[in-house]
């Protein structure tokens, strides 16, 4: 994994800390930030797929197939 150093504003740092302390899904900021990036990537892929479907007028995949494709791309 790539190691990064980032600077956070005070409100963003406090928000990250509160998410970690209240949700217990994440043990540290890195886990939470990685999850937020995955969510953003997933949203971006969905938006791209929607834009393509709007251009073409139809989609030939079921929603289950689209979801499976998104999950595979996030690995």
Per residue in 22-53, pLDDT (tens digit) is 988 999 999 999 999 999 998 998 888 888 87
The CA R_g of the chain, rounded to the nearest whole Å, is 17
List all residues 6 or more positions away from 41 whose beta carbon is below 8 Å from its beta carbon: 74
pTM comes to 0.65
CB 74 within 8 Å of CB 38: yes
The pLDDT score that the predictor gives to residue 64 is: 84
Q: Which of residues 48 and 19 earns the better pLDDT score?
A: 19
List all residues 6 or more positions away from 49 whose beta carbon is below 8 Å from its beta carbon: 59, 66
The pLDDT score that the predictor gives to residue 75 is: 67
CB 37 within 8 Å of CB 29: no
């Amino acid at each position: 994994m790539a190691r990064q150093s980032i600077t956070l504003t005070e409100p963003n740092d406090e928000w990250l800390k509160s998410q970690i302390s209240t949700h217990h899904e994440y043990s540290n900021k890195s886990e939470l930030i990685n999850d937020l990036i995955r969510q953003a990537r997933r949203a971006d892929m969905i938006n791209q797929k929607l834009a393509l479907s709007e251009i073409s007028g139809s989609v030939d995949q079921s929603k289950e197939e689209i979801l499976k494709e998104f999950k595979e791309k996030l690995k």
